[in-house]
Amino acid sequence: MSTQEQSAAATTSRDQSPDAVIVGAGTAGCYAAATIAREDYDVVVLERKDAEEAGHIACGDALKGADAFPEAIPKSKLEPAFTNTGVDHGRFEIPQEDTVLEIPVPGELAVIDRWEYGRRIIDGAEDVGVDFHYDTVVTNVVQNDDGRVTGVEAIRKGDPLEYESDIVIDAAGSLSVLQDHVDFSESTFDTNVDYSHFCSAYREIVHVEEPVEWDDALVFKPTERAAGYLWYFPRTDTEINAGLGFQMTEEPMKLVDDLKRDLENRAEFEGAEVEDKLGAALPTRRPYDSAVHPGYMAVGDAAGHVNPTTGGGIAGAAYAGKYAADQAIEALETGDYSEDTFWKYNERVMDHFGARYAALDVYNILSTAVDVDDLMGLLAAMPGDKLAEALYSGSADIGLKLKLEALLKSRGHWGTIWNLYQTKRRADELLAHYENYPTSPAGLAGWQDRRDELMEKVYETTGADPKY
């Protein structure tokens, strides 16, 4: 019996009362678990899938910045899942303008086999002593009389289980069901979460007969409707991750049919075979204002830790897992599982990537209100290097040079340019405010009031319906 199968079958008294319970064996969950286990604490990860399917997640498969990932799981453990390290730029196909925009992607970039990567981060966490319990579906979250989370209830193959734990980390993904079972009324945990803050996505792994010409690029293409997009990410020159998604604020797309239609219209996919199909929801929103509650933290997709303009979330999830784990370790060492102890996790997320993602969400809001043809015409006029800086580095700054060059090249789109310029000012204001994120829970309400005032200006500038 394999180690994974042994872990899945084991239900000892030690397993029922670990120091930390983590729900979800994705990137955030595995990095959190490995970080805590390295300090010799007992950690159990509960995963609803079986041992074979664990790690099989719908994803675009693009991974940026792995050279600077947390060290709890060594990069050498992940590298065999890197199937294409030759990608170095984005290719924006803009049919409305009959043009292709090539933009460089700064930093280390790779396209991965997401299922293999998922297995390897699980293996990396197991190497440092993490126990994985598969086929385990969490059905409830347990709280004491003071509201502190003290464990979870679950079911495995029909058998009810209860895990008592000092800390629960919610890494259960988008629209996490755990959050439906916690009473957050006595904490700052962000409950302003709605399905419209998410994107519905679908992807297929497609094998083509001849190598594609763009195996060194991440290919993006707008759908015919606003707030929709297609992608073609080459795992190899003949194996492509092809997918599409749309904002849940919009009328639903027929994802399978729409992707099939686009594949049929691309000559390079003639005679292609589909190997794998998966769908998912992912956050296209700002990070949670607070992802902590006594005894409980949410990480990764479960806390909105995804770049809302690109859908990239692997790097943010890895670091969110580490930052939450660091505070979990402090709590385990001191016996203090309060919101104050966990607050540093919120601060580190906002400082590292959360503030930038919140500012980039302003452009996501804009995309729901502008005419798609005008927006594509403007993108076609933009210099690729500056657009790359805005999209991939997480910067909200479009820059004067970019605005001037766009003005010179984009006759007929000046109204959109002015709207984008004004939106950029709103994003800058929001970014500056997020950089002053409060240092304790006591300061959050006042900070939120000012943030909401800035968001009103965003809606006024963009003409978009309120998102939050």
| More confident: 467 or 247 | 467
- Residue 22, helix vs strand vs coil: strand
Q: Tell me the average pLDDT across 222-236.
A: 84
Q: Which ranges of 297-443 does DSSP label H, i.e. alpha helix?
A: 314-334, 339-349, 355-367, 372-381, 384-392, 400-409, 414-434
pLDDT digits (tens, 9 = 90+) for 408-443: 455 555 566 677 789 999 999 999 999 999 999 999
What CATH number has the domain spanning 85-107+195-282?
3.30.9.10
pLDDT digits (tens, 9 = 90+) for 53-70: 999 999 999 998 877 899
Q: Tell me the average pLDDT across 317-330.
A: 98
- Residue 200, helix vs strand vs coil: strand
| More confident: 424 or 143 | 143
> Among candidates 311, 93, 96, which has minimal Cα distance to 212?
93
pLDDT digits (tens, 9 = 90+) for 146-172: 999 999 999 999 999 999 999 999 999
Q: CB neighbours of 138 closer than 8 A, spacing ≥ 6? A: 23, 46, 48, 152, 153, 154, 172, 177, 178
For CATH 3.30.9.10, list the domain ranges present in the chain: 85-107+195-282
| pLDDT given at position 41 | 98
CB atoms within 10 A of CB 74: 13
Q: Tell me the average pLDDT across 101-129.
A: 93
| pTM of the model as a whole | 0.90
Least confident of 47-51, 90-94, 252-256, 361-365: 252-256
- Residue 181, helix vs strand vs coil: coil
| pLDDT given at position 53 | 96
Does position 205 have pLDDT exceeding 60, yes or no?
Answer: yes
| pLDDT given at position 384 | 55
What CATH number has the domain spanning 3-76+114-193+285-354?
3.50.50.60
Does position 1 have pLDDT exceeding 50, yes or no?
Answer: no
Intra-chain end-to-end CA distance of the chain, in Å: 49
Does position 89 have pLDDT exceeding 80, yes or no?
Answer: yes
Helix axes 339-349, 314-334, angle to 10 degrees: 160
For CATH 3.50.50.60, list the domain ranges present in the chain: 3-76+114-193+285-354
Q: How far is CA 253 from the centre of its chain?
A: 21
What is 39-107 written as a DSSP string? TT--EEEE-SS-TTTTT------EEE-GGG--TTS-HHHHGGGEEE----EEEEEEGGGTEEEEEE--S
**What's the pLDDT band for 397 if we cut at 50, 70, 90?**
low
CB atoms within 10 A of CB 273: 10
Q: How far is CA 117 from the centre of its chain?
A: 16
